[in-house]
Chain A
Amino acid sequence: MSDTDLDKLPGGFKGMSEDIGSDQTTFKGVNWGKAMMWIFLLSDTFVFSCFLIAYMKVRASVVEPWPYPSEVFALEMMGVPVPLLLIAIMTFVLITSSGTMALAVKYGYEKNRKMCGWFVLLTAIGGLTFVGMQAFEWSKLIFHDGVRPWANPFGAEQFGAFFFMITGFHGTHVSIGVIFLFIFARKVFRGDFDTGKRGYFTTMKSDYVAIEILGLYWHFVDLVWVFIFAFFYLW
């Protein structure tokens, strides 16, 4: 369905009931891959929700004191402990990469190969920086503060367990995203999306919509970080 047809359809709830009542497609104008990514992200939302719910339930029911994250994650700056400094920078980096990704998607829409490629590459570098900083944070906690998944010097032992599990799971998502971002940056620069080159594994034609799909994933990773930031570091 082309864009001009889409504009003729009614919007809002009226449009919704018409879309659902219609034949062929329920999400009008939504590419198969994009629809799949959305539903996958919905499923992934449930994964992260279950992690965070488990964290909430356990934190609410331990009788030992829960470590105060503001102090645990403080960083010494010129002799003064600054609370959550590293986390603030990590948040900054991730939001920046999200912004560059949004621009990459925009240029992908416009089939602007050069700009799209550079922004995807920039996003990948931002993601890599984030993973690097997370590695630094983990090593500081493990080697400097002595936090382990099974014990920590600050209080309830689940603190370390949940921290490593949830940030680790998020970090895995980021790392997978970074790998794909590099692959797709190469594909964009090579012009695969302009020529419609067939994928090596799937044998399906490449299209700029892939950048939008990757963008959805990347923004989702950022979205999850918003929740982790609020619940793990600030709460």
Chain B
Amino acid sequence: MAEAKKEETTTHKIGIYLWIWGLLFVLSFFSYMVDWYNFQGLLRWSLILFFMFLKAGLIMAFFMHLFWERYALVNVLLWPMTAIACFVGLMVAEGKYTVFSRLFYFFVGGA
């Protein structure tokens, strides 16, 4: 297993890079198509996010070699993202609350 990996990292790499390269073009094209065909609503969001994370994952894993790095480094890099995720989640809620109170007090006229 380790031997096979080793071979991959030093000699067979150019193939992998070209594959990922091509895949990134295809995925970018797909996400562009999301806009072209003007999908709306939940379908648009989920497709955008899906392609985005897939592209980001491919770049990180192969172009940035994270796939071949040891778990110590991978884990150190990925766990802090939970703080970001928490921040994002809470700010979604906060944004909704702000727009609610603006509409309620400025336009509806408040309680």
Give the B-binding residues of A (Cβ under 8 A).
Answer: 3, 7, 9, 11-13, 15-16, 19-20, 26-30, 35, 38, 42, 45-46, 49, 53, 56-63, 70, 83-84, 88, 91-92, 95, 98-99, 101-103, 106, 109-110, 212, 215-216, 219-220, 222-223, 226-227, 229-230, 233-235
Contacts and interface: CB of A to CB of B under 8 A. Distances in A.
Return the 5 tightest CB-CB contacts between A and B, nearest first.
A60-B95, A61-B98, A16-B71, A99-B21, A230-B52
Contacts of A20: 72
Contact of B72 (A27, A46, A91, A98): A27
Interface string B15-35: 001101100110010011011
Contacts of A102: 17, 20-21, 62-63
Contact of A63 (B25, B34, B65, B102): B102
Contacts of A9: 70
B102 A103 contact: no
A102 B17 CA distance: 7
A95 B84 contact: no
Nearest to B21: A99
Given A60-B99, A63-B102, A95 B28 contact: yes
Contact of A223 (B1, B59, B76, B88): B59
B52 A227 contact: yes
Contact of A83 (B36, B77, B84): B36
A223 B14 contact: no
Nearest to A233: B35
23 contacts: A7-B2, A7-B6, A27-B72, A27-B73, A28-B70, A28-B72, A30-B73, A49-B87, A57-B94, A60-B98, A61-B99, A63-B102, A63-B106, A83-B36, A95-B28, A98-B21, A102-B62, A106-B17, A219-B60, A222-B63, A223-B64, A230-B52, A234-B35
B25 A95 contact: yes
Contacts of B63: 98-99, 101-102, 215, 219, 222
A13 B72 CA distance: 8
Specify the main secondary structure of chain B where it touches its partner: helix
A70 to B, nearest CB: 5
A102 B20 CA distance: 10
Contacts, number: 154
B24 to A, nearest CB: 5
A11 B21 contact: no
A84 B71 contact: no
Given A11-B71, A95-B25, A230-B52, A109 B35 contact: no
A223 B60 contact: yes
A226 B6 contact: no
Nearest to A27: B73
Contacts of B95: 56-61
Contact of A230 (B20, B31, B36, B91): B31
A214 to B, nearest CB: 12
A37 B25 CA distance: 26
A13 B96 CA distance: 40
Given A15-B70, A92-B28, A103 B77 contact: no
Contacts of B48: 230, 234-235
